A and B are shown apart, each in its own frame.
Chain A
Amino acid sequence: MKIKFRIRRYNPHDSKAPEPYYQAYTVDVTEGMTVLEALLKISEEQDSTLSFRKSCRSAICGSCAMTVNGFARLTCNLQVLPEHSKMGEMTIEPLANHRPVKDLVVDMTPFWNKMEKVSPFLMPTEKTAQNAVTAEDEEVIDQSQRCIMCACCNAECNSLEIDERFTAPAALAKAWRFVGDVREGHGVKRLARLSEEHGMWDCVRCIHCTQYCPKGVAPLKQIERLRSAAMKAGILDNPGAKHVEAMADSVEKFGRLDEAAMTFKTLGFLKSLGKIPLGIRMELHGKMPHPYIVPQIERIEEVREIYKEIEKTAALKEKKKE
């Protein structure tokens, strides 16, 4: 079947056409052919100036991620025919949230730098090095170990889009790989660093990373694991953790979220003033419960019972550990 591919071309060094443009190629697509195979066919038979990255062609090296019909995908395990019949087109562009270098190739330097920033290697102490990894321990870090560093998650991350310094999902998932490892000796230090600005608390939980990850890493889940580990470790002196604390507080007191009070707790009084315009806007939209008269829900006792229960089991677990 003949299918038209629209490919974003870009070569800033081409004096005749330094700006990006779209070029169409028609490819004779056979059953089972992947997008990467189609690109290879184009470069071998029609236009060898087309640049893109590729290597394993079996979804394990992470080279070939691109934007296909608007979404970050690995191109080597994506079949053309089903994709085309679902989307009605074949538009290939470089990954979003990354600077295009040439055609479908993007600058991965910021991606690798983010990885390096989380010290992506095991740092055991003499004592923790002795801990053997059981099957259950492995389970905890298994998802985070599956990452192939393809950057699909970062390409679709909403927080990264507005803050290029955000550590972003791939590196955060990698960070959990070590924090969650029973042999790691500096977990708390890591958590403290990850709790700083641009760190784990800057994720807005849009869940795109988990949705677009081709390897089931579920970065958001690893971020949540990091967050609860940080809270457990008592690393609370940051807006993110305070926000969660406030949330828990509010639920315990009123059985529901008191968003205005939470903003105060999270950011402190002065900072919270800066947030008032947003509050007013929310008010206008009828989205904000009145800040001073927060009604308790009925049967608040039940909610408090739940909290007590949680604390009891937690205390029990601690005792068992000792």
Chain B
Amino acid sequence: MKTEVSIAGVTLKNPVTVASGTFGSGMEYDEFFDVSKLGAVTTKGVANVPWPGNPTPRIAETQGGMMNAIGLQNPGIDTFIERDLAFLSKKDTRIIVNVCGRSIEDYVEVVERLADTNADLLEINVSCPNVKEGGIAFGTDPAALAKITKEVKAHAKQPVIMKLSPNVTDIALMAKTAEDAGADAISLINTITGMKIDVERRRFAIANKTAGVSGPAIHPIAVRMVYQAAHAVSVPVIGMGGVATASDALEMMMAGATAVAVGTANFADPTASLKVVEGIEDYMRRHEIEDIGELIGCV
């Protein structure tokens, strides 16, 4: 039974990773299960310098999901390399480093600092607010997306995954734009912008007012977008958005994803990602699937 998949020449022993920001760098979850069992660990977004993030409350629960406005708090690339990458290097899993920035120069600086580390893949988060480019998030304007993809590709040593925002009208266009600009892979979806109001207190539930919705509630939207993106490009797609079970993951793969990430579900069960790995193997046995590749885009 072959569960390996390949993302831009990097082989993952199984198609399961975790969604950036929901798993730290794996240290905390490694106390619940050996994170080496995952195909890859995707780390929390890291910038060139430490970011303090947003005021609290940063999260709220919603029916079948949650919303967050963490604000990309991170310790900066120096600490990340010394501490987080050092931890992951001892693990037998692939390392996907999620990168964030406020300007193209920020992203390029991080990508260059990662060149001589053992990061296997770089995931570029282009849905951060507060970017220089006229205030438009890189991920929602095709021209800005093409520009940052080209710049990052020009400086990156590892293959580059562009992580797309779902807050767009035409996801296929964004996926194609990233591919044409040189992206080695695409990942989606990031959170969907939402808002929650605490009616008893008559104020916003989250200090930032708007926040990103994630979890099982957004899964059907994510499956649709993964399907549209996968059909628009020939590079591999990593699917995420509400994946909580093996069945959810397989749905993503059948829609066209080569690999899947488990995000918010880690909060409901710290071993959710491991259960997805095991559940996929079980499915392959039950359905006598020799190679997981048979399932990718099979619908």
Q: Do A and B bind each other?
A: no
- The chain B residues found within 8 Å of chain A, CB to CB, are none
- The chain A residues found within 8 Å of chain B, CB to CB, are none
